[in-house]
A = this chain, B = another copy of it.
């Protein structure tokens, strides 16, 4: 392949707006590839600390200064502040802008509303990685290695902008997956936002009462420690996230509480077999959580001509996302106006056939080859 993801060919200068834990970690990861990272932060002290730590190689005193000459701009601020800052970066001429917010539907919609002419160059993103640490002092160049990083292209997304952001994700060591913005929000409600509430609530219930609490904490073994680990994280980000994703969070929370009510009935009624069924089902699901990357001989390359088909990037990549198929590499060959060209995807051989069929169903003609 001529330009594998992870190649720095298209990315030599990155602007990071917001140099906290996530922005700082991105900066540190990019620094390993000799990419120039220009930082901007509303807090001069935070920005200076990021420079000291090597998370940014240059600092800028405003958004326009940071954006100037950057190949891609990463907005790494709390959810409520993303859209205005992304719009400002686009207005200042940034060729490609992405973000790292935990909620995507409202953010993408707000960017479209604020910059309807240039929103095609905005690609929403969300790295599924975090830390109990707080601020740039907790930044880690390896924070994203092996993590899943959601991108949310839409039918309006410019293919080159997507490719650039996809490369950036590869550079920091993460695996990109494409999902529609609203669907992302439903999924993370269930897999991230409700788990955070569930963990913090459990920790809070367990910690009620003085003496009782201390004994209880002595009895807290590995399972309880695992379950409540995310409760140790910095809470400041959560009110914004929960507010922005309120409807999806409430739906997922209701599903969880309903399921707990069913479990309560089984415990109260002595429903042994049904309890065992539930625990066995959960065990199988937990054990099937995906880990790692397959060896190259288990990968397949799909070539998908997309000449003159608008929105092809979003269609193809979000279909892979919907099927849960990891795209290990991504490229657009002979990319041109309106997304014409050939999309080259590298996926696990096990999922290649299913993706081919899915693509054929929505009108794509796919050719397949093996790698390695």
Contacts and interface: CB of A to CB of B under 8 A. Distances in A.
A268 interface: yes
Nearest to A358: B211
A218 B279 contact: no
A61 to B, nearest CB: 31
A264 interface: yes
A245 B55 CA distance: 52
A213 B323 CA distance: 9
B233 A203 contact: no
A202 B218 CA distance: 25
Contacts of A264: 250, 253-254, 257
A287 B133 CA distance: 12
Interface residues of A, number: 95
A217 interface: yes
Interface in A78-106: none
A42 interface: no
A251 to B, nearest CB: 11
Q: Which secondary structure characterizes the binding site on chain A?
A: helix
Contacts of A32: none
Given A211-B324, A276-B239, A282-B201, A219 B192 contact: yes
B223 A196 contact: yes
A364 interface: no
Interface stretch (A17-25, A224-232, A302-310): A224-232
A72 to B, nearest CB: 23
Contacts of A260: 197-198, 201, 253, 256-257, 260
Contacts of A281: 204, 207
A155 interface: no
A280 interface: yes
Contacts of A263: 197, 201, 253
Interface string A292-318: 000000000000000000000000000
A207 B234 CA distance: 28
B267 A217 contact: no
A202 B128 contact: no
Going nearest first, the 9 A-B pairs with the smallest beta carbon separation are A214-B324, A235-B279, A207-B285, A128-B221, A200-B282, A223-B230, A203-B282, A239-B272, A232-B286
Given A129-B221, A198-B260, A253-B263, 12 more contacts: A128-B219, A187-B216, A205-B255, A205-B259, A207-B281, A211-B323, A217-B285, A218-B290, A228-B286, A235-B280, A238-B279, A250-B268
